[in-house]
Amino acid sequence: MTIQLSDILDRPFTFTRRPDLLPCEMRPLWKCSLILLSIHLACRAGSCSLKKIHVINWIIKSEKNSSEFEFWILNQHGIKPEVRLDPTLDRALALLIADGMISKNEDKFTINDKGLEVSKKLTLINAFELEKIVLLKFKKSLTDANVNKIFQVR
């Protein structure tokens, strides 16, 4: 039995729009929440540089990345981790600035009262549990000196 094209086209048909799957790293709300949590938990005085935010974001992305960073912290004369800069992070920072949750002063991003309130709520709920553990684990190692060494050429 063969099916003719006219047999298919003569029947009624509909199209159903399905949502596009978007990885959580690409979702602005998820990324903004993670930035607020990162600045609150891993940065000194609620303020840090763009480089540090990118390093934190890279560490949190995978267990492999956090292991590479941990290995480098224990042996800084070894191979530096290859931190990848994420363009979605820059977009999320722009959204947070526009919403008044963080501000940019020279080369530092500082969490504002509104952002601090949100980040405190994020620490209390059962969300970002693995990320919180990683942030607290590496808090002392995420110094400006270490971050600058990672990006230093030679």
DSSP letter string over the chain? ----HHHHHTS-------PPP--GGG-HHHHHHHHHHHHHHHSGGGEEEHHHHHHHHHHHH-HHHHHHHHHHHH-TTSPPP-PPP-HHHHHHHHHHHHTTSEEEETTEEEE-HHHHHHHHHHHHSSSSHHHHHHHHHHTTT--HHHHHHHH---
Among 10-14, 55-59, 67-71, 127-131, whose mean pLDDT is lowest?
10-14
Backbone angles phi, psi at 111, to 5 degrees: -80, 135
Q: Whole-prediction pTM value?
A: 0.82
Residues 6+ apart with CB under 8 A from 116: 40, 46
Express each pLDDT in 67-89 by its tens digit: 999 999 999 888 899 999 999 99
Express each pLDDT in 113-123 by its tens digit: 999 999 999 99
Q: Quote the crossing angle between the two packed helices 28-42 and 129-138, to the nearest 10°.
A: 30
Instruction: Note the Cα 111 to chain centre separation in Å.
Output: 16
Express each pLDDT in 10-21 by its tens digit: 777 777 888 777
